[in-house]
Amino acid sequence: MKPGILTFTVDSMSTYTILVPLSQTVAPRYNITNSAILGCFYLAQGVGNAVASRYTGRYADWMLKHWLRRRNGVYVPEDRLYASLIGSAVILPLSVLALGWVLDKGSGKVGLAWVVILLFVDGIGLMVRSVVILTLSFPHSFD
């Protein structure tokens, strides 16, 4: 198995552990009974994905240029993987931990606002990691 696919799978599991039980974790904690309102929480991660997709490719290219300068022009395509580290090693784990903490300790409108913010941040982390890793894992998939 390719390392990129394994990393993608492990990181995606953290995201699905947030989204699948979202109705069972958020609804009782904040007394939400309307399914439509509860469904809107899924949009926060989607908006995070959309916002990050606009900048992720540019960030990966910037990272490649950064490493080109450090190596005096030696090109290594895998240098784009460094761009996925911030999503995989920082944004995703911290957003999952913070969301769990907010769902355990938070209450009221402030806690609910933090849930939406952290779902948005999780979407950003997912997209930063996904675009770079999947691009390098399947370089000829669209040929």
The stretch 65-90 carries a mean pLDDT of 83
Query: How large a percentage of the chain has pLDDT more than 90?
Result: 15
Query: How large a percentage of the chain has pLDDT more than 70?
Result: 84
- What's the pLDDT tens digit per position in 127-140? 888 777 666 666 55
Run of H or E including 90: none
Residue 104 · residue 25 · CB < 8 Å: no
Burial 18-40 (b: 16+ CB within 10 A, else e): beeebeebbbebbeeeeeeeeee
